[in-house]
């Protein structure tokens, strides 16, 4: 089968229309409430974004996305402390996905730095979860320390197996972000099979399934992970 370059594929897709069907029936059983802690959570999210991201207009753009409402709509019935953790995971997911998809960001502009960032983040999160014995140095990537908010909550309140499951999904997520970054730098186009494998990981699907298993007491068969 003939192959095309990344740029050629982008050129062919420009101007094409994508029609999304009515998905309301698919989500009929989803919760339709909003968490009552939303006003307080919005303030906390805005403050957190101001400390986390200092470059240009990105904090304001993420505030406009209203990730507090996103989390409050997805998990309207959880305890406030657990809602805060879930919202932190949402923020980190969107932040990292942006950084690894933007060539202008320091984390992703250099492939070796991106790989080192992933390794450091993985080791630090494992340490926060009580699964790694040594705390890695964060001198080069100090922003990684924000993951401690998530790790501390999970370490204190959830079983070792739950934490291992969550950590396994974090590892897959970071490794897949890096793999996508490598493919972009090499102007590679993934096969359909590899694309779906990576996309299921980088969209955070497994990450949030594991988080749900911890936070809303949803039991997921280990065969899934």
Tell me what the pLDDT averaged over the chain comes to. Answer: 82
Distance, CA of 35 to CA of 71 (rounded, Å): 8
Neighbours of 31 (CB within 10 A): 12
Q: Of how many residues is the chain composed?
A: 225
What is the distance between the alpha carbons of residues 42 and 192, in angstroms, rounded to a whole number?
Answer: 39
Instruction: Categorize the per-residue pLDDT at 107 as very low, low, confident or very high, splitting at 50, 70 and 90.
Output: low
Model pLDDT, residue 39: 94
Measured between alpha carbons, how far is 180 from 192 in angstroms, rounded to an integer?
Answer: 14
Residue 7 has pLDDT above 60, yes or no: yes
pTM listed for this prediction: 0.75
pLDDT-derived band at 69, boundaries 50, 70, 90: very high
Whether the CB-CB separation of 45 and 149 falls below 8 Å is answered with no
Confidence of residue 147 (pLDDT cuts 50, 70, 90): confident
> In the prediction, which pLDDT does 129 show?
92
Residue 198 has pLDDT above 90, yes or no: no
For the structural domain made of 36-215, what CATH number should be given? 1.10.600.10
Are 202 and 180 in contact by the 8 Å Cβ rule? The answer is yes
Select the more confidently predicted residue: 199 or 219. Answer: 199
Among candidate residues 158, 132, 45, the one with its CA nearest the CA of residue 92: 45
pLDDT at 224 over 50: no
pLDDT (average), residues 163-172: 90
Q: So where are the chain's domains?
A: 36-215
Q: Which residue stretches of 36-79 are H helix?
A: 38-52, 58-64, 67-74
Q: Which residues contact 203 (CB under 8 A, 6 or more apart)?
A: none
Burial pattern 112-146, b for ≥16 Cβ within 10 A else e, equals eebeebbebbbbbbbbbbebeeeebebeebebbee
Question: CA 97 to CA 95: how far, in whole Å?
Answer: 5
Tens digits of residue pLDDT in 8-65: 878 888 888 888 888 888 878 777 889 999 999 999 888 888 877 666 566 678 888 8
């Amino acid at each position: 089968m003939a192959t095309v370059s990344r740029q050629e594929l982008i050129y062919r897709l420009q101007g094409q229309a994508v029609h999304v069907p009515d998905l309301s029936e698919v989500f009929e059983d989803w919760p339709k409430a909003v968490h009552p802690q939303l006003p307080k959570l919005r303030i906390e999210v805005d403050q957190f974004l101001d400390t986390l991201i200092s470059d240009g207009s990105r904090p304001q753009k993420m505030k406009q996305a209203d990730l507090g409402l996103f989390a409050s709509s997805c998990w309207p019935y959880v305890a406030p402390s657990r809602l805060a953790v879930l919202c932190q995971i949402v923020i980190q997911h969107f932040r990292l996905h942006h950084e690894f998809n933007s060539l202008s960001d320091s984390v992703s502009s250099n492939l070796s730095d991106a790989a080192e960032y992933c390794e450091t983040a993985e080791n630090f999160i494992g340490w926060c979860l009580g699964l790694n014995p040594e705390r890695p140095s964060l001198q080069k990537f100090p922003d990684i320390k924000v993951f401690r908010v998530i790790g501390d909550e999970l370490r204190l309140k959830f079983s070792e197996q739950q934490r291992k499951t969550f950590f396994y999904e974090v590892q897959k997520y970071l490794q897949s972000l890096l793999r996508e970054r490598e493919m972009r730098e090499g102007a590679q186009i993934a096969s359909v099979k590899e694309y779906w494998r990576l996309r299921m990981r980088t969209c955070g699907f497994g990450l949030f399934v594991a988080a749900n298993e911890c936070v809303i007491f949803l039991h997921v068969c280990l065969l899934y992970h």
